[in-house]
């Protein structure tokens, strides 16, 4: 079961929550997958999403690539969520650490995910710690960028349909770092 570790208010009476648990169990309207540019969900979070949500997610991802080409950092792809509680999976491509301009790319992936959710007039979304796994992005820097980008998005998009945003973390090391950054930004 997922557990809320911390909560903060964002502009427009929105709620940002830091959650410990498995994003595939989130009951938000969309979850974000930390994807690769080809939407091949063969490992990590992407594989877990397909295993729990069903093969339809990979099939729709393959169709996306055929119709739209590789996914960019700023323009995430989206599919249905199959058997998941969510309605949609937004496939955000975060940067590989060392690829250049990583902070801007991560910010673009987060902002793009929120934009896609707004395009569907969704009220809730759950995001993982994009790029901090096999892509090697330093966790503390990623936490700061993810939180800053979310906060900035709502300060300039006051008419956003989103009102509940979860950042869902699975492993203890990532949770520890994100909580440290959270407390520095919003207090205990």
| pLDDT tens, residue by residue, 18-62 | 999 999 999 999 999 999 999 999 999 999 999 999 999 999 999
Neighbour count for residue 128 (Cβ, 10 Å)? 25
Q: pLDDT (tens digit, 9 = 90+) per residue, 142-184? A: 999 999 999 999 999 999 999 999 999 999 999 999 999 999 9
* Of residues 8, 3, 54, 21, the one with CA closest to residue 182: 8
Entry field: residues in the chain: 188
Joined together, the tokens standing for residue 12 give: 């427009």
Q: What are phi and psi of 157, to 5 degrees?
A: -120, 65
Q: What is the b/e burial string over 133-146, where b = at least 16 CB atoms within 10 angstroms of the residue's CB? A: bebebebebbbbbb
Q: What domains are there in the chain, each with its CATH number?
A: 17-186 (3.40.220.10)
Q: What are phi and psi of 2, to 5 degrees?
A: -80, 145
The three-point CA angle 129-37-40 to 5° equals 90
* Of residues 118, 25, 38, the one with CA closest to residue 72: 38
Compute the distance between CA of residue 31 and CA of residue 162 in angstroms, rounded to an integer: 13
pLDDT in the model for residue 70: 97
Query: For residue 11, what pLDDT band results from cuts at 50, 70 and 90?
Result: confident
């Amino acid at each position: 079961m997922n557990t809320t570790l911390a909560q903060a208010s964002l502009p427009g009476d929105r709620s940002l929550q830091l959650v410990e648990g498995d994003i595939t169990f989130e009951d938000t309207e969309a979850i974000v997958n930390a994807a690769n540019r080809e939407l091949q969900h063969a490992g990590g979070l992407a594989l877990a999403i397909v295993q729990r949500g069903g093969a339809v997610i990979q099939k729709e991802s393959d169709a996306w690539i055929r119709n739209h080409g590789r996914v960019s950092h700023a323009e995430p792809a989206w599919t249905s969520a199959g058997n998941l509680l969510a309605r949609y999976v937004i496939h955000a491509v975060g940067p590989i650490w060392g690829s250049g301009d990583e902070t801007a790319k991560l910010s673009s992936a987060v902002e793009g995910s929120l934009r896609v959710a707004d395009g569907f007039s969704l009220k809730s979304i759950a995001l993982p710690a994009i790029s901090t796994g096999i892509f090697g992005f330093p966790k503390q820097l990623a936490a700061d960028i993810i939180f800053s980008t979310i906060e900035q998005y709502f300060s300039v998009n006051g008419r956003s349909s989103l009102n509940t945003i979860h950042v869902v973390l699975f492993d203890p090391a990532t949770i520890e770092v994100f909580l440290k950054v959270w407390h520095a930004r919003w207090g205990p």
